[in-house]
């Protein structure tokens, strides 16, 4: 089973098993990580699944497309270079063990 | 529909920034689009008027049967030309008698012998009649392409019969568009009519492709929705499978397909019942809409009582939609000084995509 590690602003570390093909948002949401709000359920319309990708993993992700970029401009905590919307990141073998930091707030 | 943020209280919150990427009731109306102006039988030798996209139009049928639409406002002192007289295909203003031909050129100013100045002209709007309705192009006449008129060929097909209606909605067409792309409201806003309890929870597919947004839902076993019992001859407790798909076609139109399959048909009975339900929304102003619909079926086509039943049931269902949109409009106005942020849920995927398309089309027009 593939895993992702979520670290919230207080340093709390949660390891989550995520099925290949599911988005990292879905994995976090289904595991009850409250720091991922995922209001729109993956439609790329709410910018509440914002994650900061650990440096080592950034280059392994698919490039940001226009819609995600537009929504990243709307995040509650201003998006930086490591920012992605986790509903657009799909779990694959290559992302097994990915580390994601959670912003202070999604809203 | 997301709230409108007033300029003086526009914090740059996440929600406000997202709302700015989507159309709302204040988004400029989209001119480069074919909209339904009216039913064909409204076009007669008597002039009528109707407001479309904030422009008052006068419309009638030409001597040799063509539907025509012109600017209703006389360029002289704004008298509605529809209150004047038709002379052949020319329109004479009922105030000072200016005469306009159907291309909008002023032929005569009775108070002067000199030819009318070139500035004395009105806009003419291209009209095309298909099936029971007449479409109008509100953009640059040079861009009017008849091939872009949405397909409604089933309305002229002898194997189909249709019911039709019109509702005037005192609210923005954007909310109506969104209502049609989130069919999870069927179970709650239209219980017993088009909704059954299974409908809201049934998984749906959303396809977003350029300027087209389509949602579809398949319920594999449910009772017959109220609107379809009499027309299909099935009882409310009979079980069917139900496929419904709704597609945003343009700022002025939706088309939906409903396919019911009787899961336990009696011998010789029809098994599959197909309906095409089209919604034509023609913005009157930013805050009001002309809402036309056609409800076509390939069953019980000769039975006029079925047509009347469907028309009545459709008006009830659409009336429920309108009641909701008006209630929403009222509360939005009452709370206009409150900064309020609406949320987007999973079932809003198609609606959000559609509002992004409308915003893009409006922005493109503003730039050109």
Q: Give tens-digit pLDDT for B168-180.
A: 999 999 999 999 8
Sheet with B124-125, side-by-side order of all strands: B48-52, B55-61, B67-71, B124-125
For A7, the token pair is 């670290």
At B36 the three-state DSSP class reads strand
Amino acid B240: pLDDT: 93
Q: A81-90, B168-177, B205-214 — which is least confidently predicted?
A: B205-214
CB of A100 closer than 8 Å to CB of A7:
yes
Closest by Cβ to B345, choosing from A40, A74, A76: A40
Secondary structure element (H or E) that encloses residue A70, with its range: helix A66-72
Pairing of strands B106-108, B99-100: antiparallel
Angstrom CA distances, B127 to A45, A80, B38, B180, stand at 38, 52, 10, 26
Amino acid A1: pLDDT: 85
* pLDDT at B195 exceeding the cut of 70: no
CB contact under 8 A, B344 and A107: no
Mean pLDDT over A74-92 rounds to: 96
CB contact under 8 A, A41 and B352: no
As a whole number, the mean pLDDT across chain B is 92
Amino acid B61: pLDDT: 98
* pLDDT at A77 exceeding the cut of 60: yes
Amino acid B8: pLDDT: 47
Alpha-helix residue ranges (DSSP H) falling in chain B = 14-19, 173-181, 186-189, 197-201, 226-232, 304-334, 349-367
CB of B83 closer than 8 Å to CB of B72:
no
The Cα–Cα gap between B170 and B191 comes to 24
CB contact under 8 A, A45 and B343: no
Q: A26-30, A102-106, B82-86, B315-319 — which is least confidently predicted?
A: B315-319
Task: Determine the residue among A66, A74, A103, A105 to mutate to test chain B binding: the one whose Cβ has the most chain B Cβ atoms within 10 Å.
Answer: A74
Per-residue pLDDT of B272-301, as tens digits, reads 999 999 999 999 999 999 999 999 999 999
B18 and chain A: CB distance < 8 Å anywhere? Answer: yes
Closest by Cβ to B344, choosing from A45, A73, A75: A45
Q: Which of residues 245-284 of B touch A (CB under 8 A)?
A: none
Amino acid B52: pLDDT: 98
Q: Which of residues 336-365 of B touch A (CB under 8 A)?
A: 343-346, 348-349, 352-353
Would you tell me the crossing angle of helices B304-334 and B173-181 to the nearest 10 degrees?
120
Q: How far is A77 from chain B (nearest CA, A)?
A: 9
Amino acid B141: pLDDT: 92
Mean pLDDT over B126-155 rounds to: 96
Closest by Cβ to B346, choosing from A42, A47, A48: A42
Chain A residues with CB under 8 Å of B23 CB are none
The Cα–Cα gap between B110 and B160 comes to 52
Taking the CB of residue B90, how many other CB atoms lie within 10 A of it? 14
CB of B138 closer than 8 Å to CB of B35:
yes
Of residues A46, A86, A39, A34, the one with CA closest to residue A64? A86
Secondary structure element (H or E) that encloses residue B82, with its range: none
CB contact under 8 A, A43 and B353: yes
Angstrom CA distances, B292 to A28, A54, B76, B133, B315, stand at 45, 54, 33, 10, 11
Tell me the pTM.
Answer: 0.90
Per-residue pLDDT of B21-53, as tens digits, reads 999 999 999 999 999 999 999 999 999 999 999
Q: How far is A79 from chain B (nearest CA, A)?
A: 11
The Cα–Cα gap between A99 and A18 comes to 13
CB contact under 8 A, A43 and B349: yes
The Cα–Cα gap between A100 and B44 comes to 68
Amino acid B194: pLDDT: 67
At B73 the three-state DSSP class reads strand
Question: CA B139, B142, B148, B152 torsion: positive or negative?
Answer: positive
CB contact under 8 A, B352 and A47: no
The Cα–Cα gap between A107 and A46 comes to 9
Amino acid B285: pLDDT: 98
Confidence of residue B230 (pLDDT cuts 50, 70, 90): confident
CB contact under 8 A, B349 and A76: no
* pLDDT at B340 exceeding the cut of 80: yes
Amino acid B351: pLDDT: 93
Confidence of residue B12 (pLDDT cuts 50, 70, 90): confident
* pLDDT at B246 exceeding the cut of 70: yes
The Cα–Cα gap between B273 and B279 comes to 20
Mean pLDDT over A13-34 rounds to: 96
For residue A75, the chain B residue with the least C-alpha distance is B14
The Cα–Cα gap between B138 and A59 comes to 49
CB of B98 closer than 8 Å to CB of B84:
no
Amino acid B204: pLDDT: 81
Chain A residues with CB under 8 Å of B345 CB are 39-41
CB contact under 8 A, B343 and A42: no
Higher pLDDT pick, A20 / B211: A20
Chain A residues with CB under 8 Å of B342 CB are none
At B5 the three-state DSSP class reads coil
Closest by Cβ to B18, choosing from A41, A42, A47: A47
The Cα–Cα gap between B231 and B367 comes to 49
Mean pLDDT over A4-23 rounds to: 96
Pairing of strands B204-209, B161-169: unpaired
CB contact under 8 A, B348 and A107: no
* pLDDT at B193 exceeding the cut of 80: no
């Amino acid at each position: 089973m593939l895993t992702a590690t979520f670290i919230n602003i207080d340093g709390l570390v949660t390891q989550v098993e995520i099925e290949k093909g599911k988005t990292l948002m879905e994995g976090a949401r289904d595991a009850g990580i409250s720091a991922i709000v995922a209001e729109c359920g993956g439609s790329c319309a709410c910018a509440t699944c914002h994650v900061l990708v650990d440096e080592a993993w950034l280059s392994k992700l698919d490039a940001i497309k226009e819609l995600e970029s537009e929504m990243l401009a709307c995040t509650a905590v201003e998006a930086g270079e490591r920012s992605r919307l986790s509903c657009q990141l799909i779990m694959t073998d290559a992302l097994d063990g990915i580390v994601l930091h959670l912003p202070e707030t999604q809203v | 529909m997301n709230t409108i943020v007033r300029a003086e209280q526009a914090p740059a919150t996440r929600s406000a920034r997202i709302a700015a990427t989507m159309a709302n009731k204040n988004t400029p109306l989209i001119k480069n689009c074919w909209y339904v102006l009216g039913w064909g039988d409204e076009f007669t030798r008597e002039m009528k008027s109707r407001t479309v996209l904030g422009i008052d139009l006068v419309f009638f049928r030409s001597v040799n049967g063509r539907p025509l639409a012109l600017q209703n406002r006389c360029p002289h002192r704004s008298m509605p030309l529809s209150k004047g007289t038709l002379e052949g295909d020319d329109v004479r203003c009922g105030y000072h008698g200016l005469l306009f031909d159907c291309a909008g050129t002023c032929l005569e100013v009775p108070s002067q012998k000199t030819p009318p100045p070139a500035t004395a002209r009105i806009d003419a709007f291209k009209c095309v009649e298909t099936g029971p309705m007449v479409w109008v192009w509100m953009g640059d006449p040079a861009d009017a392409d008849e091939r872009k008129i949405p397909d409604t060929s089933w309305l002229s097909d002898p194997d189909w019969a249709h019911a039709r209606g019109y509702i005037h909605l005192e609210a923005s067409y954007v909310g109506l568009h969104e209502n049609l792309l989130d069919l999870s409201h069927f179970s709650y806003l239209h219980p017993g009519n088009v909704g059954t309890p299974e409908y809201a929870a049934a998984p749906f597919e959303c396809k977003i492709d350029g300027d087209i947004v389509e949602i579809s839902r398949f319920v594999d076993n449910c009772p017959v929705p109220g609107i379809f019992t009499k027309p299909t001859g099935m009882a409310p407790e009979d079980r069917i499978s139900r496929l419904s798909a709704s597609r945003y076609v343009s700022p002025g139109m939706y088309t939906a397909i409903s396919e019911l399959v009787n899961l336990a048909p009696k011998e010789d009975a029809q098994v599959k019942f197909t309906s095409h339900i089209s919604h034509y929304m023609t913005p009157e102003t930013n805050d009001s809409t002309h809402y036309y619909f056609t409800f076509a079926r390939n069953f019980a086509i000769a039975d006029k009582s079925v047509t009347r039943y469907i028309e009545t049931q459709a008006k009830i269902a659409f009336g429920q939609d309108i009641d909701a949109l008006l209630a929403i409009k009222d509360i939005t106005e009452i709370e206009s000084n409150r900064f309020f942020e609406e949320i987007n849920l999973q079932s809003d995927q198609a609606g959000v995509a559609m509002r992004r398309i409308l915003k893009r089309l409006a922005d493109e027009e503003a730039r050109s």
